[in-house]
């Protein structure tokens, strides 16, 4: 099977496989392992400071001289936060934490400050990052122009055709079609309401037909067979997340890895209780408690700040019922191997699937 196509050419990689940027899970070791294996590792830096961003980028560079992507959050922060809603959620979480013997440090509304991609662009430019991906929106035109003028390839995220067209008109180089099966946060940016929930196998050909850019399929890509299925529908590459959740280089807590490998497809639900933004993950006590409280989650990233102390405590103590366990619909197929071994299995399985398809076509002829 010949792997060279528009994606490999644009990104200067051997295989059209991109490791999804999973904030809180992805490590520099994971990014470097995928890039060294011939794919594109992706380093998530959404919400981090410029110094943290630079430190992580340099940690990846210490481990690989291959291209890798840096992933930005391109959302805008809420202008107004309802103090009564904030106080109500804070009080509920304080009571909940005390009932479960969790150390909770409630945030102070007036002191909340957030890093945005505006604080990170100069770092990406000075570090000469070859590929910049983004989600939750589209960077402002001046930033897109600056990155492209410096030679960076840009990858945007779309959850429907309307978003893909907006990205296409901004002259991004590639579009990630994020299907409903994808774990973690939805990349939706055209609505603040429930996000489009279009399955990957429906979304990919829609975006391929509607846009001029190469398309990466994301969501439910669990092995080489699903990779080939997406490419037969017009995708020229895939973005893989959940398959790397339990790899040796993943920073996911042990309990998170265990729950993923023992989860059924129906255990992954869509919720905004933990961060304020719709995301797919394994349901737990904290998610259920917020739903049963009757309170409406605050907008992202305010809700994220409100639950941060509980989630941080739970991660340190490895308490799966009180933290985020983002996972896609096919996450239970993830295996505990090195990232490089998982990557190679994708390539080997895809090659086998291609040969089987080719053989089947020849038999029919």
In CATH, what number is assigned to the domain containing residue 201? Answer: 3.20.20.70
* Residue among 104, 108, 107, 106 at smallest CA distance from 313: 104
Confidence band of 265 (pLDDT split at 50, 70, 90):
confident
Q: Is 355 exposed, middle or buried (0-12, 13-18, 19+ CB in 10 A)?
A: exposed
Co-location of 272 and 174 in the same domain: no
Q: What are phi and psi of 47, to 5 degrees?
A: 85, -5
Total domains present in the chain: 2
221 and 322 co-located in one domain: no
Q: Write the DSSP string, 151-172.
A: T-EEEEEESSHHHHHHHHHTT-
Task: Determine contact, residues 172/154, Cβ cutoff 8 Å.
Answer: yes
Same domain, 293 and 217: no
Distance of CA 34 to the CA centre of its chain: 15
Same domain, 13 and 23: yes
Shared domain check, 274 and 172: no
Q: How many Å apart are CA 218 and CA 302, to the nearest integer? A: 27
pLDDT band at 362 (very low <50, low <70, confident <90, very high): low
Residues facing residue 154 across a β-bridge? 132
Task: To the nearest 10°, report the CA torsion of 278, 280, 285, 290.
Answer: 10
Report the distance separating Cα 320 and Cα 232, nearest Å: 38
Interval 204-220: pLDDT, tens: 999 999 999 999 999 99
Per-residue pLDDT at 125: 98
Could you read off the pLDDT of 333-361 as tens digits, one per residue?
Answer: 999 999 999 999 999 999 998 777 666 55
CA distance 221 to 104: 37
Range of the domain at 36: 1-77+114-250+335-365
Are both 10 and 106 inside the same structural domain?
A: no
pLDDT tens-digit series, residues 123-140:
999 999 999 999 999 999
Token duo for residue 349:
């399985």
| 57 and 198 within one domain | yes
Q: Extract the tokens encoding 78.
A: 């809420």
Residues 125 and 3 both lie in one domain: yes
Percent of the chain residues past pLDDT 90, beyond the cut: 92
Distance CA 345, CA 247 (A): 13
């Amino acid at each position: 099977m010949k792997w060279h196509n528009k994606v490999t050419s644009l990104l200067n990689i051997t295989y059209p496989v991109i490791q999804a940027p999973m904030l809180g899970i992805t490590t520099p070791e994971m990014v470097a392992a995928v890039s060294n294996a011939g794919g594109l590792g992706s380093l998530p830096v959404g919400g981090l400071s410029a110094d943290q961003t630079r430190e992580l980028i340099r940690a990846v560079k210490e481990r690989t001289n291959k291209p890798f992507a840096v992933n930005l959050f391109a959302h805008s922060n809420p202008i107004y936060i309802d103090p009564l809603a904030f106080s109500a959620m804070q009080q509920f979480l304080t009571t909940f934490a005390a009932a479960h013997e969790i150390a909770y440090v409630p945030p102070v509304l007036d002191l909340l400050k957030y890093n945005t991609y505006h604080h990170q662009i100069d770092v990406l430019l000075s570090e000469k990052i070859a590929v910049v991906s983004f989600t939750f929106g589209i960077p402002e035109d001046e930033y897109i122009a600056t990155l492209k003028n410096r030679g960076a390839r840009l990858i945007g995220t779309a959850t429907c055709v309307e978003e893909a067209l907006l990205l296409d008109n901004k002259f991004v180089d590639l579009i990630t079609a994020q299907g409903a099966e994808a774990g973690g946060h939805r990349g939706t940016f055209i609505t603040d309401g429930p996000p489009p929930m279009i399955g990957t196998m429906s979304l990919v050909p829609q975006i391929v037909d509607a846009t001029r850019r190469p398309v990466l399929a994301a969501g439910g890509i669990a092995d080489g067979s699903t990779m080939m299925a997406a490419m037969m529908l017009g995708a020229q590459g895939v973005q893989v997340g959940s398959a790397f959740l339990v790899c040796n280089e993943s920073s996911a807590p042990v309990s998170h890895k265990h729950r993923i490998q023992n989860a059924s497809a129906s255990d992954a639900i869509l919720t905004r209780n933990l961060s304020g933004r719709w995301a797919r993950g394994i349901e737990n006590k904290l998610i259920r408690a917020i739903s049963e409280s009757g309170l409406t989650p605050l907008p992202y990233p305010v809700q994220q700040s409100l639950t941060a102390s509980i989630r941080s405590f739970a991660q340190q103590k490895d308490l799966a019922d009180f933290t985020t366990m983002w996972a896609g619909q096919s996450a239970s197929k993830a295996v505990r191997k090195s990232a490089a071994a998982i990557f190679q299995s994708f390539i080997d399985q895809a090659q086998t699937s291609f040969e089987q398809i080719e053989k089947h076509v020849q038999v029919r002829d």
